[in-house]
Chain A
Amino acid sequence: DSGVTQTPKHLITATGQRVTLRCSPRSGDLSVYWYQQSLDQGLQFLIQYYNGEERAKGNILERFSAQQFPDLHSELNLSSLELGDSALYFCASSVDGVFGNTIYFGEGSWLTVV
């Protein structure tokens, strides 16, 4: 158990809908990362937050947004969903987002868009 908690574990929704994925980082970790894992694109970095502020942005679509709240939990919002958004979404956290520190992954949220 990495200490990173993600909910829901599985989610099935229809095209055009909106979903929210939630992540609680490890106790004491200030930095949160979101990744998308799909069969054809591998593990793609979406976005990173540190202590409530956006720190880095990767291949995140405009239909997706995220935030980190004062209690350090984070949410990833996916809207106008398309079939191609079906993937495993991982949250990860690290102590302070400082170079070289290990990031710890949750077990992921499986999203299926039908």
Chain B
Amino acid sequence: GNSVTQMEGPVTLSEEAFLTINCTYTATGYPSLFWYVQYPGEGLQLLLKATKADDKGSNKGFEATYRKETTSFHLEKGSVQVSDSAVYFCALSSNTGNQFYFGTGTSLTVIP
């Protein structure tokens, strides 16, 4: 079956620290991979995506590389800001009807 596992939170970092949020997946076939972000009181927003192996998605200083050999899609940012405080969800889209499977979310708090 399809599933996503992401690191437990919450994560607390100081401003300008390096961020890594781990995400691994299990999928039949070749899924597309996504990171969504949920700011307080809002819906989920697409942060970045990658549709095939070795693709790198990037946006707003965040990056993630689709690693088929390790079935991973870890989210990284070199220097976090207070405004990055949010919950981050890793997700995969199966190649059967575009069903999305989400991880449990990782809460990030960045302190000044």
A interface, how many residues as a size bin? 20 to 34
Residue from A43, A92, A97, A105 with most neighbouring chain B CB atoms (10 Å): A43
12 A-B contact pairs sorted by A residue (CB < 8 Å): A4-B43, A42-B105, A43-B44, A43-B105, A56-B97, A97-B97, A98-B98, A100-B93, A102-B34, A102-B46, A105-B36, A107-B43
**Complex interface: chain A residues within 8 A of B98 (CB):** 31, 48, 94, 97-101, 103
Q: What bracket does the count of chain B residues touching chain A fall in?
A: 20 to 34
Chain B residues within 8 Å of A43, by CB: 44, 89, 102, 104-105
Question: Which residues of B are in contact with A by a Cβ distance under 8 Å?
Answer: 32, 34, 36, 42-46, 49, 51, 89, 93-105
**With A48-B97, A55-B97, A97-B97 in contact, is A104–B46 under 8 Å at CB?**
yes
A2 contacts partner chain B, Cβ-Cβ < 8 Å: yes
Given A56-B97, A56-B99, residue A99 in contact with residue B43 (CB < 8 A): no
**In the assembly, what is the distance between CA of A76 and CA of B99, in Å?**
18
